[in-house]
Amino acid sequence: MRAGVVGGGSWGTAFARLLADRGHDVTLAVRDPDQAAAIAETGRNPRYLTNVDLTDVSAVALPDFPEADLLVMAVPSEAFAQVAATLPEGPPDLSLAKGLDPSTGNRLSTLLEGHPVAALSGPNLAAEIGAGLPGAAVIASDDEELATWLQHEINSQIFRVYVNSDLIGVELCAAAKNVIALAAGGVDGLEAGDNAKAALITRGLAEMARLAAACGARPETFAGLAGMGDLIVTCWSRLGRNRRAGELIARGATPEEAAAEIGQVVEGLTTAPVLRDLAHRLEIELPITEGVCQVLTGVDLLELVSALMGRRPREE
């Protein structure tokens, strides 16, 4: 298979390595010509996952796109619409992005109208995938034939791939878990303990399932790899950007300072207000998401914790 991976960040780099290891002809399409030239010359991405071997991966600079049987979208949600508008017609698209469109609140796959589309998600820390450590993911699509073909082309001994027809649920999982991870990082920053963190993650999963039901997704999707699996690793791993950002903010950093220290896109910072606004339109309660948005606009975190803990007790 000829695969074009659009986006030269950590996840794009790791996924390009994953596809190349499966024997595919891979081209990494990046925004900066200097980055593309460095990859071609050194076989390394000079900015992200610099230890990942890319000597058998080609590189081009956007807006050039490689001739491909599959285009993989590994760009942040903020840039997704702009890049999607320039995609060539023909090949199917696989989205790796984990967010919502900031302008409309829509799922990112809806920006790929006219293309056969699927989304991949799961507990997939880019650094671990790039290092060849084992992992698993789910590919979701309304097109069962496309999902099955992608499963066959990507599944390997170190990266197990499942298929799921619930595209809505998988995309919402990918977006919502980053917001919960910001809150989990806040628990770490306050040193509130593992009991508090486990409780927050559990209630975060319930919040995500409530969102699923309101959007027509299947709640059981949120108990799978794209939901619970990705939520656990994002909230607990020291490699998780969103968890780390929440920890830094809890210790006094502004969201801008936290993002600058991390040095990579922190999707939860973009997604939180978009998800909150979506919840308002759907008339559902997402208290953790609401709380994250309040903290991002300057509300004291300890006051927020007190307010959340003081909510009226209810049935689980």
The model's pLDDT over 88-141, given as tens digits with 9 standing for 90+, comes to: 888 999 999 999 999 999 999 999 988 899 999 999 999 999 999 999 999 999
Distance CA 54, CA 69 (A): 20
Contact 122, 151 (CB under 8 A): no
Contact 101, 75 (CB under 8 A): no
> Of these residues, 24, 98, 107, 177, which one is catalytic?
177
Q: Are strands 25-30 and 2-6 parallel, antiparallel or unpaired?
A: parallel
Q: Are strands 93-95 and 58-61 parallel, antiparallel or unpaired?
A: unpaired
For 295, residues 6+ apart whose C-beta sits below 8 A from its C-beta are 186, 249, 301, 304
User: Is residue 273 scored above 80 in pLDDT?
Assistant: yes
Pull the structure tokens for residue 273.
């207000």
In the 3-class helix/strand/coil scheme, how is the chain assigned residue by residue? CEEEEECCCHHHHHHHHHHHHCCCEEEEEECCHHHHHHHHHHCCCCCCCCCCCCCCCEEEECCCCCCCCEEEECCCHHHHHHHHCCCCCCCCEEECCCCECCCCCCEHHHHHCCCCEEEEECCCCHHHHHCCCCEEEEEECCCHHHHHHHHHHHCCCCEEEEEECCHHHHHHHHHHHHHHHHHHHHHHHHCCCHHHHHHHHHHHHHHHHHHHHHHCCCHHHHHCHHHHHHHHHHHHCCCCHHHHHHHHHHCCCCHHHHHHHHCCCCHHHHHHHHHHHHHHHHCCCCHHHHHHHHHHCCCCHHHHHHHHHCCCCCCC
Average pLDDT over residues 287-312: 84
Distance CA 105, CA 82 (A): 15
- For this structure, is 197 an active site residue? no
Pull the structure tokens for residue 288.
């953790």
pLDDT band at 64 (very low <50, low <70, confident <90, very high): confident
Q: Give the chain's mean pLDDT.
A: 94
CA angle 282, 284, 288 (to 5 degrees): 125
Instruction: Note the pLDDT of residue 308.
Output: 72
Contact 102, 41 (CB under 8 A): no
Average pLDDT over residues 228-233: 96
Percent of the chain's residues with pLDDT above 70: 99
CA angle 159, 15, 121 (to 5 degrees): 65
Percent of the chain's residues with pLDDT above 90: 88
